Homo-oligomer: A and B are copies of this chain.
Amino acid sequence: MELSPTAYVILGMVSREARSGYEIKALVDETTRFFWAASYGQIYPELKRLAAAGLIEGVDAPRGERKRTVYAITPQGEAALKGWLRQAPATYELREEGLLKLFFAGVLQREESAEILRSMREHRAGQAEQLRALEPKAREKEEAGDPFPLIVLRGGIELNEWIAKWCERTEAELLDPARKERSG
């Protein structure tokens, strides 16, 4: 049976404890979002499919009077998750409108193309800051025995910072081409 990557996100998210669709969405938004997002429109139908396939199991877990279903992974689900984790990753996609604009920036004035790099830099710096705000939670998980969320989060922070610096450096070279010769 072929599962979508989003199915594995769900499998992974319920692999340590049972969670509701709403909780999965919230968790995705504060962890994998920057490299793998998921919306309600994907999560709820996928939960039903996975339950029908026997990879997860829904259990009623109301909070007071409010209905609520949490899903727990089954042994078959865990086997599917591990099998997937052991396969070499296949999807690598970057969609960066800023780079696309920069690619075509030859039709603009120099100052206008520098502005593209400034926008990109600002966005990346902001992204890094947002991710840094998530570090405490990831550190808690590390202390609880799972170092990977923190490893990935730090990678994300550093990646964004690297891109921000690249933008800065590239803007400087663009506005003062001689600079490049001087610095190497």
Taking Cβ atoms with an 8 Å cutoff, the residues of A that contact B are 5, 8-9, 12, 15-16, 31-32, 34-36, 78, 81-82, 84-86, 88-108, 112-113, 115-116, 119-120, 123, 127, 145-149, 151-152, 155-156, 158-159, 162-163, 166, 170, 174
Residues on B with beta carbons closer than 8 Å to the beta carbon of A155: 99, 166, 170
Kindly report how many copies of this chain are found in the complex they form together.
2
Q: Summarize A's interface: helix, strand, loop or mixed.
A: helix
Bound together, the chains give a CA A152 to CA B8 distance in angstroms of 33
Chain B CB within 10 Å — which of A34, A86, A99 has the most? A99
Determine the chain B residues whose CB is within 8 A of the CB of A170 once the complex forms.
151, 155
Q: Given contacts A151-B170, A166-B155, is CB(A35)–CB(B99) below 8 Å?
A: yes
Measured between beta carbons, the chain B residues less than 8 angstroms from A127 are 92
Contact yes or no, B151 A100, CB < 8 A? no
